[in-house]
Amino acid sequence: MNMKADFYRYSEKEAKINGDMDRWRESHIANIECARYIDSNETGLMAVAYKDNRVDSDNSFRDEILEKFGYRRTMCVLASTINAKRSDGRFTQDNKQWADYHVYQLDKSQTRQYLIDSVNPGALDIFTRSVRQAYNELELYTAEHCIDDSRRDLSFENRVLVVSPEKLREDYWQPENQIFLGRSGFGCDPNASGRAVYGTYLIDGEKTRRNRADFIGVMKDECIPDWAKEKIMELSKPNQSAEQNKNGFENGIRIMDELIVEDDHINAYVETWFDVNERFGLSLDGDDSLDLYADYYPADGRLDVNYIIKYADDNRVSAKVTEITDAERDAIMKCMRENGLDECISEMEQQDNSEEMEMSMQ
């Protein structure tokens, strides 16, 4: 039994639609095991943590449960029980309101299997408050630390963002792991259809891609810790000066973020150090910017290059670069190889082989 299986927050119906039935099933079984453990006459709350009319006075049972099953799973089981027994006056109104959220997107036919039946409701209410206290002591960033409605309304480009704990493994539930510097991607624009936000985890400098929905919002300036501000200052220093990169595409680009495998191609965000107005025949002003993206298709060796112009008035214009010189292509491909292109191609081949094997077995 994998009691620390990834917690799956959606219903069985959603799992079927998204092809996640294995993840749902493993999580569902672990949820039931969590409820049975707390309810057990041998290992449960009343059996080992209720003494002298006190509930888990040293928090040892709480800590054992959280270590064994994790926060999400434990809170889901407690919330499912409280919701099912909300007419019982021994559960406080505060815990009832909390429970409404922590059943996640699960349906009642599922959560009914997570009920804790033999524990005294008053004792379970006290235990729930203790679990909530343990979660609060993690001091994770919440919507209170973000600008109101920023996930819906604001650009994420060059902004300090807060990753939702729900999008992180519990191993990374420390506030410093939530701080992310957004850089580029269609997902930075609140009005774009794209979701991808490319950027950097400030705690360790890891460059990666996340979806816009993974973030709570833009962090308020007064909430940004000093260490994060120092990291931003370091990242803002270019590796090379503009004077050293006036020689065109051959020396004037670098791959800003890690490569992303997307279906049949590999995407890269290209940082430019050349005169984009001259190269693309544009007339951008000082507050306008241009993002350059490259898509490499391993199947036929094709390289597509596109740019997005971001005007100061928030208008966006995208276009394909129709004429790429051999030198430009070689420079981009060289940068992509230096940033893991071969590994990405191997990953795509493994995925294709796995799909072919699954089809042959059907």
Distance CA 110, CA 118 (A): 19
Closest by CA position to 121, among listed 39, 193, 202: 39
Residue 355 has pLDDT above 60, yes or no: no
pLDDT at residue 244, as a whole number: 40
pLDDT class of 273 with cuts at 50, 70, 90: low
* 3-state secondary structure (DSSP) of residue 191: coil
Distance CA 291, CA 182 (A): 14
Q: Where are the alpha helices (DSSP H) in 150-193?
A: 150-153
Distance CA 111, CA 105 (A): 10
Q: Is 128 exposed, middle or buried (0-12, 13-18, 19+ CB in 10 A)?
A: buried
Supply φ then ψ for residue 234, to 5 degrees: -65, -45
| Average pLDDT value for residue range 260-280 | 82
Question: How far from chain centre, in Å, is Cα 76?
Answer: 20
Helix, strand, coil percent values for the chain (each to nearest 5): 45, 20, 35
**Do residues 75 and 33 make contact, with C-beta atoms less than 8 angstroms apart?**
no
Cα three-residue angle 79-84-85, rounded to 5 degrees: 100
Residue type for position 321: V
* 3-state secondary structure (DSSP) of residue 280: helix
Residue type for position 109: S
pLDDT at residue 240, as a whole number: 43
* Residue reference for tokens 């009343």: 46
Distance CA 180, CA 160 (A): 6
How confident is the model over 150-178, as pLDDT tens digits?
999 999 998 999 999 999 999 999 999 99
Helical pair 121-136 and 93-101, crossing angle rounded to 10 deg: 60
Q: Where are the alpha helices (DSSP H) in the chain?
A: 12-18, 21-39, 45-48, 60-69, 71-84, 93-101, 108-111, 121-136, 150-153, 226-235, 276-280, 326-338, 341-361
| Average pLDDT value for residue range 253-280 | 80
Report the 10 Å Cβ neighbour count for 355: 10
Residue 4 has pLDDT above 80, yes or no: no
Share of the chain above pLDDT 90, in %: 54
| Average pLDDT value for residue range 46-71 | 95
The secondary structure of residue 165, as a DSSP letter, is G
pTM as predicted: 0.67
Which range among 131-135, 155-159, 195-199, 298-302 shows the weakest confidence by mean pLDDT?
A: 195-199
Residue 286 has pLDDT above 90, yes or no: no
Residue 77 has pLDDT above 90, yes or no: yes
Higher pLDDT, 102 or 355: 102
How confident is the model over 8-51, as pLDDT tens digits?
989 999 899 988 999 999 999 999 999 999 999 999 999 999 99
Q: Is 247 exposed, middle or buried (0-12, 13-18, 19+ CB in 10 A)?
A: exposed
Residue 246 has pLDDT above 50, yes or no: no
